[in-house]
Amino acid sequence: MNDYSAEVVDHFQHPRNAGPVEDANGTGEIGNPDRGDYIKVFIRIDNEILAKIGYQVKGSAAAVACASAMTELVVGRHVDDVMMLTDEDIVEALNGLPESDVECPNLSARGLKTALQNYFERNVRSRT
């Protein structure tokens, strides 16, 4: 853990918002749960605000830390702002990551965007 910032270590040791959201109205999965890094993101959007978020992640310490940091960056924000989250935002929140972990923030950001897409597909279908 010597290569990681204090923020990465803290998020790995004390992950925020981990676990499923029971009343989720959007979910997204990236990766393969049987091998390699994997994330499933659960979101609850109410009145266009991301009210709740949770995740299940399998991977390195950096993958866990990125998922945890991602949730803190988006909970309570309008969906328009949530859609703008980048890998760089997650890396910045963690005060950097080693070069070997460059895919970890991408995993979290893509998982979130897949959950948002699922939410919008469900929401549009329910209105038609």
Which tokens sit at 92? 């910045």
CA end-to-end span of the chain: 51
Question: Does position 1 have pLDDT exceeding 70, yes or no?
Answer: no
When pLDDT is cut at 50, 70 and 90, the band that residue 10 belongs to is very high
The pLDDT value given to residue 42:
98
The pLDDT value given to residue 125:
64
Task: State the Rg of the chain over Cα.
Answer: 14
124 with 117: CB under 8 angstroms?
A: no
* Residue 109 to residue 82: CA distance in whole angstroms: 10
Nearest 10 degrees: Cα torsion 107, 67, 31, 124: -80
Stretch 94-111: mean pLDDT: 93
Mean pLDDT of the chain: 94
* Residue 88 to residue 123: CA distance in whole angstroms: 29
Stretch 103-116: mean pLDDT: 95
When pLDDT is cut at 50, 70 and 90, the band that residue 64 belongs to is very high
Report pTM. Answer: 0.93
What percentage of residues in the chain have a pLDDT greater than 70? 95
